[in-house]
């Protein structure tokens, strides 16, 4: 299990830059135009903006689910290509997660290391089966 944590730590080290990059790209393409006004207009403005981002992340998960549900999609791992629809939807999820994390100030890498350490230490899904 030490290898798992070491691998997660290696990934975690890359995530802060990836978060900043995803957020900067979203700003550059004006993905959330008007968000400064929303944040300033209401005490819950930032919560609304976070919720919108999370909804978009969920929509990407739904798109990935649709790909999995599609009987025409070969789910054999050997069939995966970096540019197939399922792979791209999973990448969309990651991009949205990185951007959301940066928006909220979450150090996703540190959280991932903490969560992995808990899991390796025996924590299992809060007592549920899966």
Q: Interface residues with Mg ion (CB under 5 A)?
A: 60, 63, 89, 92
Q: Which is nearer to Mg ion, 89 or 102 (CB)?
A: 89
From the CB of 89, what's the least distance to Mg ion, in Å?
5
Q: Cβ of residue 3: shortest distance to Mg ion, in angstroms?
A: 32
Q: Name the strand (E) or helix (H) holding 58.
A: helix 45-69
Cβ proximity of 39 and 49 under 8 Å: yes
Q: Which long-range contacts (CB under 8 A, 24 or more apart) does 43-52 make?
A: 49/103, 50/100, 50/103, 50/104
State how far the alpha carbon of 37 is from the alpha carbons of 11, 61, 71, in Å.
35, 28, 44
Token pair in block for residue 13: 């080290």
| Residue 73 CB, nearest approach to Mg ion (Å) | 14
**Nearer to Mg ion (CB atom), residue 5 or residue 52:** 52
For the bound state, the minimum distance from the C-beta of residue 92 to Mg ion, rounded and expressed in Å, comes to 4
Residue nearest to Mg ion (CB): 92
Closest CB to Mg ion among residues 91, 117 = 91
């Amino acid at each position: 299990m030490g290898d798992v944590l070491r691998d997660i730590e290696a990934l975690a080290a890359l995530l802060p830059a990836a978060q900043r990059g995803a957020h900067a790209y979203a700003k550059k393409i004006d993905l959330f135009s008007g968000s400064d006004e929303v944040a300033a207009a209401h005490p819950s403005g930032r919560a609304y903006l976070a919720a919108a981002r999370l909804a978009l992340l969920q929509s990407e998960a739904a798109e990935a689910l649709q790909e999995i549900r599609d009987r025409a999609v070969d789910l054999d791992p050997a069939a995966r290509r970096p540019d197939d629809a399922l792979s791209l939807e999973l990448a969309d999820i990651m991009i949205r997660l990185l951007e959301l994390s940066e928006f909220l100030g979450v150090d996703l890498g540190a959280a991932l290391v903490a969560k992995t350490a808990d899991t390796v230490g025996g924590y299992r899904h809060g007592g549920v089966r899966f």
